[in-house]
Amino acid sequence: MANKTVRITILENQKFGDVWVSSDTDLSVQNNGTTTIIKSDIESAECIKGDIVSAKTVDLDLTKDVVLTAQTYIVSMIGVGYTGLYEITIAGSSSGTHNISKRFKESSDSVLGENIFEEVVGPSNPSVTFSINGNVKQILQPQKCDGEWYSLGTHATEWNGTDNLTMIANTEQVSSVDSTIDAGISIKFEIEG
């Protein structure tokens, strides 16, 4: 067990738009049977102004899985809600090589919301790009907002636990109706050595 600073940042997106009546994000880390809230009830739309950084020192056992989670919920002006879930698992290891996996899902609280996503965002090829320490590992282009998990793979990564580890889920969801709006919420997950 070692004290590590877990930092999760909602990255700046000046094109997030003002088409949302509310936007909420909760950030957490799970390890060794314990879930630690990094921060909850973050107003995601503030990413228009710049990065939103949240951090907490957590006692982590790196021989056990570390699961970093960001859950977003945004509501459009017509009352349609969308939930996005970003999950990164760093498999426990004592050898210095960790398998790091990323998965993503997005859902709407109504069929109308699913249809809007497919008709407004789908044509512009939405994407999630997953990178580890600056290296792109996988790109996914989810065309549906159906609540299904989409995998961005598992990647063997050398990490001794004392160096910094940075993982980014860069999400782009540009509107095909108004290209000045990109509803993608991009998140950087860091564990400081």
- Would you state the pLDDT for residue 17? 84
Cα 42 to Cα 28: distance, rounded to the nearest angstrom: 12
pTM: 0.94
Q: Is the pLDDT of residue 1 over 80?
A: no
- Would you state the pLDDT for residue 167? 98
Share of the chain above pLDDT 70, in %: 100
Q: How confident is the model at residue 144 (pLDDT cuts 50, 70, 90)?
A: confident
Mean residue pLDDT across the chain: 94
- Would you state the pLDDT for residue 193? 80
- Mean pLDDT to the nearest integer, 129-135: 97
- Mean pLDDT to the nearest integer, 57-82: 95
Q: Is 119 helix (H, G, I), strand (E, B) or coil?
A: helix
What residues contact 177, with CB distance under 8 A and at least 6 apart?
120
In whole angstroms, how large is the CA radius of gyration of the chain? 17
Q: Is the pLDDT of residue 141 over 80?
A: yes
What residues contact 126, with CB distance under 8 A and at least 6 apart?
141, 142, 143, 171, 172, 173, 174, 184
Instruction: Report DSSP state, residue 115.
Output: H
Q: Is the pLDDT of residue 158 over 80?
A: yes
CA atoms in the 13 A half-sphere facing the CB of 136: 7
Phi, psi of 120, rounded to the nearest 5 degrees: -100, -40
Cα 18 to Cα 41: distance, rounded to the nearest angstrom: 18
- Would you state the pLDDT for residue 131? 97
- Mean pLDDT to the nearest integer, 55-70: 96
The amino acid at residue 62 is L
**What is the separation of C-alpha 93 from the centre of its chain, rounded to a whole number of angstroms?**
23
- Would you state the pLDDT for residue 133? 97
- Would you state the pLDDT for residue 122? 85
Cα 173 to Cα 140: distance, rounded to the nearest angstrom: 12
- Give the Cα-Cα-Cα angle 38, 170, 23 (nearest 5 degrees): 55
Virtual torsion, Cα 129, 132, 138, 143, nearest 10 deg? -30
Residue scoring higher pLDDT (138 or 18): 138
